[in-house]
Chains A and B, each alone.
Chain A
Amino acid sequence: SYELTQPPSVSVSPGQTASITCSGDDLGNKYVSWYQQKPGQSPVLVIYQDTTRPSGIPERFSGSNSGNTATLTISGTQAFDEADYYCQAWDSSTVVVFGGGTKLTVL
């Protein structure tokens, strides 16, 4: 079965840029979405179709996807951005896969 691999944790200083990767075989040929989840809350979509931000998501969130790796980039990271982040893609036309999640810590 298809797997998406994320680093368990990423740390960043306030105001700096955080990059969270998601790796999978030939991932660049699939659409990748990213979700933010804070403790006790439901996930929130922050990026879809690799690079598109939903309405209401700050411009500091951006995405890219090429080769075997997709990346979520958070520019000017704020303490408010501290959360778990999950990537998601479709293995086939009918099977969805999530990455294992990355805990973003803003030190």
Chain B
Amino acid sequence: QVQLVQSGAEVKKPGASVKVSCKASGYTFTGYYMHWVRQAPGQGLEWMGRINPNSGDTNYAQKFQDRVTMTRDTSISTAYMELSRLRSDDTAVYYCARAGAARSSFDYWGQGTLVTVSS
């Protein structure tokens, strides 16, 4: 069965960086785009970007263009999202989500990783 297992919660200081991992299993990792979505406390879903695990090509939301880097390691079927220059309003749960065969939607989601930015 398809599973996306994310790394654990993080606490970071303002200005630092955080790297969240998402380990995929139960399917061919390189066959499906991986997206990252975040959700601030009590707020809605916000798309951050995506990576093509096969080629490594990425597309980022304009809001995060200069602070986010998405990578992957195909040898261990893991995607990564690194966000730099953290601010308090980056406190959120970060999700990885697989784009399904239709590519227009997200059929499997990770359990989420809480990133807290606090001095």
Contacts and interface: CB of A to CB of B under 8 A. Distances in A.
A43 B111 contact: no
A107 interface: no
Interface residues of B, number: 22
Interface string A78-106: 00000000101010001111111100000
A98 B46 contact: yes
A29 interface: no
B105 A42 contact: no
Interface residues of A, number: 24
B59 A94 contact: yes
Contacts, number: 61
A54 B104 CA distance: 13
B44 A48 contact: no
A105 B62 CA distance: 34
From DSSP, what is the main secondary structure of chain B's interface residues? strand
B105 A33 contact: yes
Interface centre among A35, A42, A45, A54 (most CB of B within 10 A): A42
B45 A90 contact: no
A47 to B, nearest CB: 8
Given A35-B106, A49-B105, A86-B44, 14 more contacts: A31-B104, A42-B95, A42-B109, A42-B110, A43-B45, A43-B97, A48-B102, A48-B107, A52-B102, A54-B107, A95-B59, A96-B50, A96-B61, A99-B44
Interface of A: 1, 31, 33, 35, 37, 42-45, 48-49, 52, 54, 86, 88, 90, 94-101
